[in-house]
Amino acid sequence: MLASVRDHPSHRSKGYYLRNLLQYFNDADESLAEIRRTLTARGQALLVLQSSYYKEHELDLAALFADIAREMGLSAEIMFRMPVRRVMTSLNSKSRRYLDTRSYTESLLRLRRH
């Protein structure tokens, strides 16, 4: 995903947007580390994550958070997904042109400590 943003021809992809996404994933990593730290043995956490897009590239946040959590030694399972019709992107008039080609979902991600 990061390479897709970095290599995108859109203005500011290599700068602002890439830095923003790097910061987002750094924060996600820190949040998941804190969840792991505070979970008791056999404890679990449930996260609701909505998919996102950068231009035409889908960002499956549930799958990405699951991968990060697994790298930290947690088990991660996407319990279910459901379509989302109303998203914040619809408020931005410049982004509305992409809405017909996008499919947003909310996912329930279960994290467990072994």
For 84-97, what is each residue's pLDDT tens digit?
877 755 555 565 55
pLDDT of amino acid 103: 85
What does pLDDT average to over the chain?
A: 85
Question: What percent of the chain is modeled with pLDDT above 70?
Answer: 86
Domain regions of the chain by residue span = 2-112
Q: Tell me the DSSP string of 32-90.
A: HHHHHHHPPTT-EEEEEEE-EEETTEEE-HHHHHHHHHHHTT-EEEEEEEEEE---GGG
pLDDT at 15: 75
| Reported confidence tier of residue 82, pLDDT bands at 50, 70, 90 | very high
Which tokens sit at 54? 């950068």
